[in-house]
Amino acid sequence: RTSADGASALTATHCPYCALQCGMSLAVSDVPAPGRPSAPPPAVTVTPRDFPTNRGGLCQKGWTAARVLTAPGRLMEPLLRLARGAPPRPVTWDAALDHVAGRLRQIRADHGPDAVAVLGGGGLTNEKTYALGKFARVALGTSQIDYNGRFCMSSAAAAGIRAFGLDRGLPFPVTDLDGADAVLLVGANVAETMPPFTRHLRRAVDNGGLVVVDPRRTATAEQAALHLQPTPGTDLALALGMLHAAVADGHLDHAYLAERTAGFDEVWRIAARWWPERVERVTGVAAADQRAAVRILARADSAYVLTARGAEQHASGVDTASAWINLALALGLPGRRGSGFGCLTGQGNGQGGREHGQKADQLPGYRRIDDPAARAHVAEVWGVDPAELPGPGRSAYELLDALGAPDGPRALLVFGTNVAVSAPRAGHVVQRLAALDLLVVADVVLSETAELADVVLPVTQWAEEEGTLTNLEGRVLLRRRALDPPTGVRTDLDVLHGLAVRLGQPAARFPTDAETVFEELRRASAGGPADYSGVTWERLRAGEQLHWPVPAPDHPGTPRLFLDRFAHPDGRARLAAVDHRGPAEPPDDDYPLHATTGRVLQHYQSGAQTRRVPELVAAVPESFVEVHPDTAARAGLADGELTRVVSRRGSAVARVRYVPSMRQDTVFLPFHFAADRRANLVTNPALDPVSRMPEFKVCAVRLEPVRAE
Ligand code: SF4
C-alpha cells in the first residue's frame, strides 16, 4: 500500500456506506506506528474510481468517507460498566471477553440458550454475517438472532421470493438501466440516497420516461416526467389502479403472461374492483396520471419498475411490493433482457447481509432454517449435529420488544447496528435494552446503543480490514485493507473467536482471517439459492465481476437472472392476489397528519458515522421536519422554529422547514439524529405479517410548538 520511499500508494476499494458500493481509491500517507492516536493520524485521501455502479462519481458521503477513520470519539479500548449508572471504565481485552463469556455462561445456565440474543447489521461484511450466524447457533445455541435488514429489505425479499422464487435486489447489472427508455421508481429517492445511480437514469430522464411515485416532491421526483404523489400508505391501491389501467387500455402482454407466469386471473379478480377513478379517491393520484404512467412504461422498448423503502416499509410491505411486481409482470418486463423489475437495496451489504445466516429464519446460502436438507448441509460444514441447530427465532423488532420479559432474552450482543436510534418506537426499545442483564455492543464509535451497554468492544472498520460485500446487483466485491487499525481495536471476527473459545468451542471452528471464513462460506452456500461456491478470493482480487449464483470456480457468474425461467419449480413467476389495506394508524382528530421518514444526502442510517464528519454536519446539522406552510400555520408554527412532532408512542423535536410541495396532510422527518431528535421516537412498530417489517413510512402525528423553557 505505501511504497518504500514513503510516498502514498493507492488502494482500490469501495465506499463504506450504501449498497451502490461506489468504487473509490484510498491514498494513505504518514502511516503512523501502531498505537494511533498517540501517533499522528494517517492522511487518507479519497478519489473516485471508475466502477460500473458509479462511473467515477461519488456523493458527498463518499468523498468524505475517510473522515470516519479518524472520527472524534473513535473507540480504542474495551469499556466495562460493572453496575448500571456507573461510568464505564477501560479494561483489557482479556478482562472484557472473560467478563462477557462468564455472564453469558451464567445467563444460559439460569435461563436457557434462548436467553441470549444477537443482533447483526446490513453493513457487516459477508464473512462477519456468516460468522455471526454460526456463532449464535453453534457457540450460543440460541435461535434468537436477527439483523437490522429486517427494518430495511425484508418486505422486498419476501415479495421477490414469492414472485420469482429467488430474491436478488437487482436481477440485472445496474448498467442495464443505461439503455432504459422508461423507469418507474416507487418510493426511491436516489438523487439523495445514492446520487451516482442517477447517471444510469439519464436516457430515461431525457426521453421523458422517468416516473416517480413518492408522497414527497423529492430531488428525484424533480427530474421525473411524471410524479405521482399518493397519500402515504396507499401505494398498494395505486399499483392496483395502474394494473387496472394496463388491462383496460390494452397494455397487457398476453403472450408473456401465458408462457411465463401463473396467477393473473386471481389478481385481476381484485384489480377489477380498483378502477383508476376509485383509486384516485383513495390515493389522491389523478386517474389520468395513473393511465399516463402505465402508457409510458408500456410504450417503451426498454422499461423497468424499481421499488425501495417507500413501498416496502409498511405493515403491508410485502403485499405492496408484490402489487408492483404484478404490474411489471402484467407488462411483461421481468426476466427479459433490456427490461425488468428490481428492488434497490439500501445498506452497504444489505444483499449479502441477508444471505449468510444472520436472519432469524435463514441459514447460509440463503437457505431456510426449517428446511431439513439445508440444516443437514450447513451442520456438516459446521461440524455439528443438525438436531442441535436451533430453529427460527424472533424478528428484530419482536426480539427487541421481548428483551427482559419473563420469556425473553436476558442478554443481547449487538454488532454493527444502532437500534437506540434506528428501531421503531425507539423510546420503548431503549427501555427494553435497560431491562437486560447484559448488553454488549461491538462498534467503531460510542453509538447511542453503545452508550447504554455494559460492555463496549472497539472494532475495526472498512478500510482497516479486508472483506467481501455483495452490492445491490448481487455482485460480490472485495473491500481491501488500506491502512492498519489503531492498536487496541480488534476485528469482529477476532471478537467472535475470543468469545467462542471462552464458551468452549474449538478455536479452529471460528477463524479470525476473513479469507478463511470466506472459504467456509463458499462451502456452506454451495447448492443454495445464493451459491458463492465458485467465488474465490483470487478471482475477486483479480477484479472479476461476479454476480451470484457462481456455482463453480470456472463459472462466469450470473449478471442476469430469470432470462430463461424463474426460480419456481415450474419456471413461472407468480402474481400474488393482494388487496389494498390502509396504514395501520390512519390520522384522526388527535393526530391529524401522516408522518413519513427517510434519508438526506449527507447522512447515513442512524448517523453514528456521518454525524462525526464535519463537512456533513455543517451541511445538515440537525433534524428538521418538512411541512407545507399552511399546515405549519394551522399548528401555529413558523419556518425555522422548533416543533415537537407527537405520536401515540412519543415525540421528536425538529426544526420546521417550509416545503410548499409537501402534501398538506403529511410531514417528513429524516431519521439520522439522536437524543430527542430521533424520528423513530414517533414511528409505529406495526409489523407486516410475512416479513415482520415495521411500518416506518407512515404513522399519525400532530405538531406542537416547543415553548421556551
Ligand atoms: Fe457511497 Fe452510496 Fe454515496 Fe456511492 S452513493 S459514494 S456508495 S454513499
Asked if 427 and 401 touch (Cβ cutoff 8 Å), the reply is no
Task: Identify each DSSP E strand in 551-678 by its residue range.
Answer: 573-574, 593-598, 624-627, 642-647, 650-658, 666-670
Q: Give the SS3 label for residue 407.
A: coil
Ligand 1 pocket test: pick from 15, 345, 347, 475 the residue with the most ligand atoms within 8 Å of its Cβ.
Answer: 15
Average pLDDT for 64-84: 91
Residue 574 placed within a domain:
no
Residues 257 and 400 in one domain: no
Cβ 61 under 6 angstroms from ligand 1: yes
Place of cell 388491462: 247
Q: Cell numbers of 675, please?
A: 437524543
Which residues share a beta bridge with 701? 593
Residues 140 and 273 in one domain: no
pLDDT, position 1: 41
Residues 388 and 482 in one domain: yes
pLDDT, position 207: 96
Q: Cell numbers of 299, please?
A: 410504450
Q: How is the beta sheet containing 23-29 ordered, strand by strand? A: 9-14, 23-29, 43-48
Cα(146) to centroid(ligand 1), Å: 25
Asked if 664 and 630 touch (Cβ cutoff 8 Å), the reply is yes
Length of the chain: 709
pLDDT, position 175: 97
CA distance 351 to 696: 20
pLDDT at 525 over 60: yes
Q: How confident is the model at residue 40 (pLDDT cuts 50, 70, 90)?
A: low
CA distance 611 to 603: 7
Residues 199 and 174 in one domain: yes
Cα(43) to centroid(ligand 1), Å: 21
Average pLDDT for 5-13: 71
Cβ 526 under 6 angstroms from ligand 1: no
CA distance 254 to 466: 49
Task: Identify each DSSP E strand in 399-472 by its residue range.
Answer: 411-415, 438-443, 455-458, 467-470
Tally of CA atoms within 13 A in the half-sphere of 469 that contains its CB: 30
**Nearby residues of 359 by Cβ (< 8 Å), 6 or more positions away:** 133, 145, 146, 147, 149, 150
Residue 629: C-alpha distances to residues 222, 634, 664, 705 (Å): 20, 9, 8, 14
Cβ 58 under 6 angstroms from ligand 1: yes
Atom of ligand 1 nearest to the CA of 196: 5
The H or E element spanning position 259 is helix 254-260
Domains identified in the chain, total number: 4
Tens-digit pLDDT profile for residues 500-516: 999 999 999 999 999 99
Asked if 303 and 177 touch (Cβ cutoff 8 Å), the reply is no
Give the CATH number, domain containing residue 642.
2.40.40.20
Q: How confident is the model at residue 70 (pLDDT cuts 50, 70, 90)?
A: confident
Residues 505 and 363 in one domain: yes
Count of CB atoms situated within 10 Å of the CB of 501: 17
pLDDT, position 32: 53
Asked if 10 and 37 touch (Cβ cutoff 8 Å), the reply is no
pLDDT at 35 over 90: no
Residue nearest to atom 3 of ligand 1 (CA): 59
Q: How confident is the model at residue 708 (pLDDT cuts 50, 70, 90)?
A: low
**Residue among 493, 526, 497, 524 at smallest CA distance from 509:** 497
Residue 532 placed within a domain:
no
Tens-digit pLDDT profile for residues 310-349: 999 999 999 999 999 999 999 999 999 999 999 998 888 9
Residue 623 placed within a domain:
yes
pLDDT at 39 over 60: no
Residues 384 and 484 in one domain: yes
Cβ 62 under 6 angstroms from ligand 1: yes
Residues 644 and 680 in one domain: yes
Percent of the chain beyond pLDDT 70? Answer: 97
pLDDT, position 220: 98
Q: Cell numbers of 558, please?
A: 450470473
Cα(601) to centroid(ligand 1), Å: 10
Give the CATH number, domain containing residue 28.
2.20.25.90
pLDDT, position 65: 95
Residue nearest to atom 4 of ligand 1 (CA): 22
Q: Choose the final residue of a domain: 296, 315, 343.
A: 343
Residues 229 and 306 in one domain: yes
Q: Which residue has the higher pLDDT, 585 or 41?
A: 585
Residues 370 and 492 in one domain: yes
Cα(205) to centroid(ligand 1), Å: 21
Tens-digit pLDDT profile for residues 658-692: 999 999 999 999 999 999 999 999 999 999 999 99
Q: What is the gyration radius of the CA atoms in the chain, in angstroms?
A: 24
Give the CATH number, domain containing residue 266.
3.40.228.10
pLDDT at 289 over 50: yes
Atom of ligand 1 nearest to the CA of 63: 6
pLDDT at 37 over 90: no
Whether pTM exceeds 0.90: yes
Give the CATH number, domain containing residue 472.
3.40.50.740
Asked if 280 and 293 touch (Cβ cutoff 8 Å), the reply is no
Atom of ligand 1 nearest to the CA of 348: 7
Place of cell 444489505: 350
pLDDT, position 33: 47
Eight-state DSSP code of residue 277: H
Residue 582 placed within a domain:
no
Q: How confident is the model at residue 9 (pLDDT cuts 50, 70, 90)?
A: confident
Cβ 20 under 6 angstroms from ligand 1: yes
Please tell me which of 40-54, 339-353, 381-395 the model is most confident about, judged by mean pLDDT. Answer: 381-395
Residue 580 placed within a domain:
no
Ligand 1 pocket test: pick from 61, 68, 201, 613 the residue with the most ligand atoms within 8 Å of its Cβ.
Answer: 61
Average pLDDT for 425-443: 97
pLDDT at 230 over 80: yes
CA distance 447 to 449: 5
Atom of ligand 1 nearest to the CA of 65: 1
Residues 328 and 415 in one domain: no
Q: Give the SS3 label for residue 703.
A: strand
Q: Cell numbers of 278, please?
A: 376509485
CA distance 520 to 525: 9
Percent of the chain beyond pLDDT 90? Answer: 92
Residue 483 placed within a domain:
yes
pLDDT at 356 over 50: yes
Cβ 194 under 6 angstroms from ligand 1: yes
**Nearby residues of 543 by Cβ (< 8 Å), 6 or more positions away:** none
Cα(317) to centroid(ligand 1), Å: 25
Cβ 350 under 6 angstroms from ligand 1: no
Angle between helix 154-164 and 317-330 (nearest 10): 40
Cα(60) to centroid(ligand 1), Å: 8
Residues 407 and 316 in one domain: no
pLDDT, position 83: 86
CA distance 145 to 133: 7
Residues 131 and 195 in one domain: no
Q: Choose the final residue of a domain: 464, 492, 512.
A: 512
Average pLDDT for 171-186: 98
Q: Which of 26-40, 104-118, 214-228 has the lowest mean pLDDT?
A: 26-40
**H helix and E strand count, the chain:** 23, 30
pLDDT at 282 over 50: yes
Q: Choose the final residue of a domain: 486, 512, 538.
A: 512
Cβ 17 under 6 angstroms from ligand 1: yes
Range of the domain at 61: 9-70
Angle between helix 492-502 and 126-134 (nearest 10): 10
Q: Cell numbers of 389, please?
A: 441447530
Ligand 1 pocket test: pick from 24, 49, 50, 58 the residue with the most ligand atoms within 8 Å of its Cβ.
Answer: 58
Residue 605 placed within a domain:
yes
Indicate the average pLDDT of the chain: 95
Amino acid present at 272: A
Report CA dihedral (323, 328, 329, 333) to the nearest 10 degrees: -160
Cα(20) to centroid(ligand 1), Å: 6
The H or E element spanning position 635 is none
Cα(18) to centroid(ligand 1), Å: 5
Average pLDDT for 538-554: 95
Asked if 286 and 231 touch (Cβ cutoff 8 Å), the reply is no
Q: Give the SS3 label for residue 157.
A: helix
Residue 505 placed within a domain:
yes
